[in-house]
Structure 1
Amino acid sequence: MKPAVRNKIIISMNTSWNVVNFRKGLVEALQSRDYDVVIVAPRDEYSSLIAAMGCRYIELEMDNSGTSPLRDLVLLWRYWRLLRLEGPLAFVGFTIKPNVFGSIAANLNGIPVINNISGLGTAFVRGGLLLRIAKTLYRVALTRSKMVFFQNDDDRRLFVDERMVRKEQTGLLPGSGIDLVHFAPPAEVHTRSGAIVFLLVARLLWDKGVGEFIAAARRVRREVPAVRFQLLGFLDVENRTAVSREQVEKWVGEGLVDYLGSTDDVRPFLRAADCVVLPSYREGTPRSLLEAAAMGRPLIATDVPGCREVVDHAVNGFLCKVRDPNDLASKMIEFAMMDDASRDRMGVESRKKVERQFSETIVIERYMRQIERLSARAVK
């Protein structure tokens, strides 16, 4: 293998969309300190935008939701070949397959690794054989990582307790960080048309609590007719826990919910909502809640790792029991029955919390600290 290029950083994720939407700030910070950033991800409609970020893009085919050992071995070989050819200062991995197979390939090539475990995924929610395999792969992949960032302490403790990573390798990040200028409360006062709008922003997966959201909507409608329910997000047909398009169309046909499709700019939808809801089974730190909070929206979410870090119960929103549509409905009804001033106070508290704890500058600085340490070692 050729010597490492001291200023080259490879960032790898499972979609180009993820890079463009969530990691632009990190890329710009690296470039401002003269690092050459290379993005490695599968090709999608966002891949062409990476060049505009000043990065070189390398396409890497990846079966994101598949469990074929043969395909995963091919992915490992592709990562190994690519990293051997590129010889970067560091490999920075996000999402499951880059974190596992990219990290193993980097280790085989003697390249330092920085990981971000942004969430545990379906295997950890559902258990079984897939979970045992996932734990084994993580133990192998993370054994030599210089830093493994987690987005909540529950996930970090789980990985440490299960001996998938050593505690001294780990650090905590406040999610992926929020650009507090881009996501800001509207200048005009939020005026309500009469109906309270509850909005769920997420990939439409059962594990995100979409079923509980719909079941709760049925009950809330019976007790508080002047409410509306909206879904915004990808219909992710490739995921094993995806809600089908037919099912969503059925709910829309019943008049239970409005499906708003997907978007590259959630801000207009957040401005129009009174409350953003996420009844997820488990999260890292959910981006949808952070963006909504930054825009001064009250929140309702499940009392699970990731969500409870963003929602202070009865301060900037409500926490409800996981997989319990009746408890979710009761929190929605409680919110709908509040006066405007009380709801507005919750929104103000949401913004304050994001400013204190979840600014993008915090995340970027912690990454830069790790990369600068690797750069200093490479000089010696």
Structure 2
Amino acid sequence: MACVRILITVNAAWNIWNFRRPLVESLLADGHRVTILAPKDDTVPKLQALGCSVRHLEMNAKGLNPLQDTKLLLRLRQHFRDLRPDVILSFTIKNNIFGAIAAKSTRIPFIPNVTGLGTAFLSGGFLEKVAGMLYKIAFRNLPIVFFQNEDDQTLFLERGLVTNSQARRLPGSGIDLDRFAAAASPAEDEAPIFLMIARLLRDKGVIEYVEAARRVKARHAQARFQLLGATDAVNRTAIDGQTVAGWEREGIIEYLGTVEDVRPMIEASHCVVLPSYREGAPRTLIEAAAMARPLIATDVPGCRAVVDDKTTGFLCEARSAESLAAACEAFISLPSEERAALGCAGRAKMEREYGQNIVLDAYRAALRDLGPATCHVAA
């Protein structure tokens, strides 16, 4: 394929570095020019070192504010006109919605990836109606809309927000199966270590995780519950550092802060947990399964696509510390060979369904499908 000018827009540069780097590297290796349009952060030098250009996008990723969102729409349209890409790839909610509307006015092909639906879309009432209306306007007549799980795709199809001809499903962002290689479990005579990796948001089920830890430790005092992720996130459901420090003083949680590389933490754990209320394609579960760790997650969209109940781990009820605690105790009761079997089955599932080449090939196919009439060769 000839060189194409590709613009990727997202609500934070770190999102590209953490989740989309293989895609960026693949596009660059294919000979395309890649520009990132996102709020700048400390990952920008790393992205530039890959060979990308980076342009700052002023935006507030949180909430629905008509004035701020109108300004974002106008900013996106101006950036698109200035940069004149051949195609725009988008991730995250606001970039998908307002980027799609802006791209239509500039007649640039736009391909969004629905990585999650957001609180507004799932809240019910007026906010949900507004979010649904915006999605319908934004996604109408787009050539391709990628989804990261079957539940979200089905929901958009049922509500008439996309058509069958537009919708394509991906296995999340894919996983580098060599980098996240299967790892031997910790010694079985050690206390069982449960690990939750997530931004510290109520919507991720952090409160339920802590309460489940209290319940389990009351009967299995040796069990350890670790929490890895950033506090004080820019989100209305964020949990502050003071609250986390209180859990540590209580002896319920071991807070691990944040790390550049999660693999040592996953390798040191016996089981990885994510009691989220809803996900697109939960990266931490995919990474943990690739490393042959059993999983415990809520029976919600996104999570249930990754976890096969009683085969690669356990599914529990959302928003229920009691159900989560029961799943943790079920894991504790398993003999070592059955724990190992869960991990092996998870690794096999990742190899079958979640390899990153599936995602890279899907994007290559999308660029080919746009064709020279809509995706012209860069000068």
Band the TM-score falls in, shorter-chain normalisation: over 0.9
1:275 deviates by 0.3
Match of 1:119 in 2: 116
RMSD: 1.5
- TM-score, structure 1 as length reference: 0.95
Secondary structure at the aligned position of 1:301 is classed as strand
Q: Deviations over 1:240-268 (max 9, x none)?
A: 11112221111111010011111221001
Identity across matched positions, percent: 46
Match of 1:243 in 2: 239
Contact 1:10 1:90 in 2 (8 A): yes
Match of 1:38 in 2: 35
* Aligned residue runs from structure 1 range 1-40, under 5 A: 7-40=4-37
Residue 59 of structure 2 corresponds to residue 62 of structure 1: yes
CA distance in 2, matches of 1:128, 1:48: 42
CA distance in 1, matches of 2:85, 2:118: 28
- Structure 2: stretches of 5+ with no match in the other structure: none
Amino acid at match of 2:56: E
1:296 deviates by 0.8
CA distance in 1, matches of 2:215, 2:122: 26
1:222 deviates by 1.3
Among candidates 160, 184, 196, match of residue 181 of structure 2: 184
* Aligned residue runs from structure 1 range 120-135, under 5 A: 120-135=117-132
- Structure 1: stretches of 5+ with no match in the other structure: none
Contact 2:201 2:238 in 1 (8 A): yes
Match of 1:217 in 2: 213
Match of 1:304 in 2: 300
Residue 249 of structure 2 corresponds to residue 253 of structure 1: yes
- TM-score, structure 2 as length reference: 0.96
CA distance in 2, matches of 1:58, 1:24: 17
CA distance in 2, matches of 1:101, 1:293: 34
Q: Deviations over 1:159-211 (max 9, x none)?
A: 1112222221101001110011111123x563245210011111111111111
CA distance in 1, matches of 2:233, 2:289: 29
1:345 deviates by 1.2
CA distance in 2, matches of 1:124, 1:259: 31
Contact 1:125 1:281 in 2 (8 A): no
1:379 deviates by 5.4
1:50 deviates by 1.2
Among candidates 322, 325, 347, match of residue 318 of structure 2: 322
Match of 1:264 in 2: 260
Secondary structure at the aligned position of 1:332 is classed as helix
CA distance in 2, matches of 1:51, 1:148: 27
CA distance in 2, matches of 1:379, 1:53: 24
Match of 1:91 in 2: 88
1:344 deviates by 1.1
CA distance in 2, matches of 1:182, 1:348: 17
CA distance in 2, matches of 1:19, 1:55: 11
CA distance in 1, matches of 2:123, 2:376: 46
CA distance in 2, matches of 1:379, 1:341: 56
Q: Deviations over 1:282-336 (max 9, x none)?
A: 1111001000001110000011111111111111100111111111111100101
CA distance in 2, matches of 1:179, 1:52: 20
Among candidates 323, 328, 334, match of residue 332 of structure 1: 328
